[in-house]
A and B are shown apart, each in its own frame.
Chain A
Amino acid sequence: MADAVLTSHPAAGVEPFGPRPRRVFSRRNIFLYGTLIMVSLYYLLPLYVMIVTSLKGMPEIRFGNVFAPPLEITFEPWVKAWSTACTGLNCEGLSRGFWNSVRITIPSVIVSIAIASINGYALANWRFKGANIFFTILIVGAFIPYQVMIYPIVIILREMGIYGTLTGLVLVHTIFGMPINTLLFRNYFASVPEELFKAARVDGAGFWGIYFRIMLPMSLPIFVVAMIIQVTGIWNDFLFGVVYTKPETYPMTVQLNNIVNSVQGVKEYNVNMAATLLTGLVPLIVYFISGKLFVRGIAAGAVKG
């Protein structure tokens, strides 16, 4: 029972289980909401500053303070960040990398989650001899700095003949997403009641049968969590995207880096902020949509149990 991570214990209901609130304006409520609102301000402040800065012109940025709302709203930095900012000779802004990022992220997320969920399932429900050794290696692998693995992976990809291809990059993302996601799935599947599993075995279902017919349908919440982690990680990845692909398939973050890190000239903070927001938009949207799913997923998983 204590193994339930990120779930929904089967016996639990749909609602939160903390102590119940009493009156609307009790001292407790004032403290509770007061704290949450203060905390929210800390989390929102940087976003506010990013948005406000991205709507200002450069002179206003140089002389104003970062918290002041723009005197004159301009969308020019956004237009520039999206479509005209230059990297070397390519003056197409972030738009150049957007579709590349989509093309990289979608297969990488799907493949890495599929493999991690199967790993987790095998580890939790079909443990074979030595499985835990591999799993321990995987967990230790989560602590290896990515930079260290650049050369070994160059060699592996070269020997496999997929260096510089999309396949190669998907493989790299799958490898580095594996430790955390396998851990999540393993813990989640382990919390599924044993009776369900046994009943399915009695009915003659095998490894894949149980996975697809029993485990998958009740695993929405954990898939959402894994998706959040993977979409964020892969979309925001710069290192692998730039080392293991070519200019024509560079993801959006390479352009972002180019805009933000231009070594010379005046730093255009407004364009930087607009570019930053544009790049972050996709993961943010995924959050806003899946945030709901997250809650619903937990609820659904709980009812099923």
Chain B
Amino acid sequence: MATETSKRPNTLFRNLNAKIASLPMIFTALVVFVGGTVWTVVYSFTNSRLLPRLQFVGLDQYERLWSTPRWLASIENLMIYGVLSLIFSLTIGFVLAALLDQKIRFESVFRTIILYPFALSFIVTGLVWQWLLNPDFGVQHFVRGLGWETFTFNPLYDQSIVIYGILIAALWQGTGLVMCLMLAGLRGIDEDIWKAARVDGIPMWKTYIFIVIPMMRPVFVTTLVIIASGIVRVYDLVVAQTSGGPGHASEVPAKYVYDYMFSAQNLGQGFAASTMMLLTVLIVVVPWAYLEFGGRNKRG
């Protein structure tokens, strides 16, 4: 629809209603996101402490940032957490949705059970899992109580596996929504596809991987945006569960940003860190988003 008339003159008043209706979006995009980002980037070149002030210090904040062991550890942790989280949420979400799509009984019961953790905040999720993974009260204590004296499962106090402790909690909270999105996507697949696949004797798993999943591309795109943006922003969960410890083993960039902006009262450093985060996001997301949403005027 959009393409047919784009060559007409007087483009400003074309589609006027749509433009008026989009004003809130334009405001948000330009003033808040672009404006806020530019503001942040500008102040990342200053030595602002508690209050933003324009005293430029060049790249000092960035030099300091990249020589800070905690920041480097945060980046590494986020990469590990991000990759694992992405793989597991998509896989688990899709498998669960496929299972629920088998015309089973009590589908809504199962769906509710899997989705309900999403209703709880990250602070709550972190707290509950901190409690469950506590070596003196939780799973380890319980299994040892069953007579398995040497059983050790203490992710929150072990530097090498603490990130998995956080992952367990994050997946518990987040896979429900992924499952729901996938389920909705599966329901959108034409039944004829299944019939045709069956007639051709294609095994079920092959039908899923080579036919159904490619057809569900838009669902995956939506899901990807939701999961990935959640990963980049992960903060509350870490704070509630481990406060970044032990050592720096579960520090994440968003926490570094927050801590340096508010606890250390060094806005410049916090802004430099967040600029680096944004830059990474831009490098990855913009080309992809452009291909996905911009570029061609393919419908939808």
Question: What is A's interface to B at a CB cutoff of 8 Å?
Answer: 2-9, 11-13, 15-21, 32-33, 35-36, 39-40, 42-47, 49-50, 53, 61, 65-67, 115, 118-119, 121-129, 131-153, 155-156, 174-175, 178-180, 182-184, 186-187, 190-191, 194, 197, 206-208, 221, 225, 228-229, 232, 236, 238, 253, 256-257, 260, 269, 272-273, 276, 279-280, 283-284, 286-288, 291-292, 294-295, 298
Contact = CB atoms under 8 A, between A and B. Distances in A.
B254 to A, nearest CB: 4
A6 B99 CA distance: 17
B63 to A, nearest CB: 20
B127 A134 contact: no
B59 interface: no
Given A20-B103, A21-B103, A129-B6, A66 B131 contact: yes
Nearest to A174: B24
A67 to B, nearest CB: 6
Contacts, number: 335
A144 B278 contact: yes
B210 interface: no
Given A3-B218, A126-B18, A148-B271, 5 more contacts: A17-B186, A135-B293, A139-B285, A148-B40, A190-B300
Contacts of B17: 126, 206-208
A3 B188 CA distance: 10
Nearest to B114: A43
Chain B's interface size range is 35 or more
B132 A137 contact: no
30 contacts: A2-B215, A5-B181, A5-B185, A6-B184, A6-B222, A36-B99, A43-B176, A49-B128, A50-B128, A65-B141, A115-B24, A121-B21, A127-B1, A129-B6, A132-B293, A132-B294, A143-B229, A144-B36, A144-B37, A145-B232, A145-B235, A147-B257, A148-B271, A155-B39, A156-B32, A182-B25, A221-B184, A253-B121, A287-B116, A288-B112
Contact of B218 (A4, A21, A174): A4
A18 B259 CA distance: 49
A39 B1 contact: no
B102 interface: yes
Nearest to A151: B52
A192 B112 CA distance: 28
Central interface residue in A4, A115, A206, by most chain B CB within 10 Å: A4
Central interface residue in B33, B115, B226, by most chain A CB within 10 Å: B33
B64 interface: no
B199 interface: no
Interface of B: 1-2, 6, 11, 14-15, 17-19, 21-22, 24-26, 28-37, 39-40, 52, 96, 98-104, 107-108, 110-124, 127-129, 131-132, 137-138, 141-142, 145, 172, 176-177, 180-181, 184-191, 193-194, 198, 204, 215-219, 222, 225-226, 228-229, 232-233, 235-236, 253-254, 257-258, 261-262, 267, 270-271, 274, 277-278, 281-282, 285-286, 289-290, 293-294, 297, 299-300
Contacts of B254: 145, 147
Contacts of A17: 101, 186-187, 189-191, 193-194
Nearest to A285: B119
B222 A184 contact: yes
Contacts of A43: 113-114, 116-117, 172, 176
Given A122-B18, A180-B225, A5 B131 contact: no
A153 B222 contact: no
A28 to B, nearest CB: 8
Given A6-B219, A129-B6, A175-B32, A18 B128 contact: no
B222 A183 contact: yes
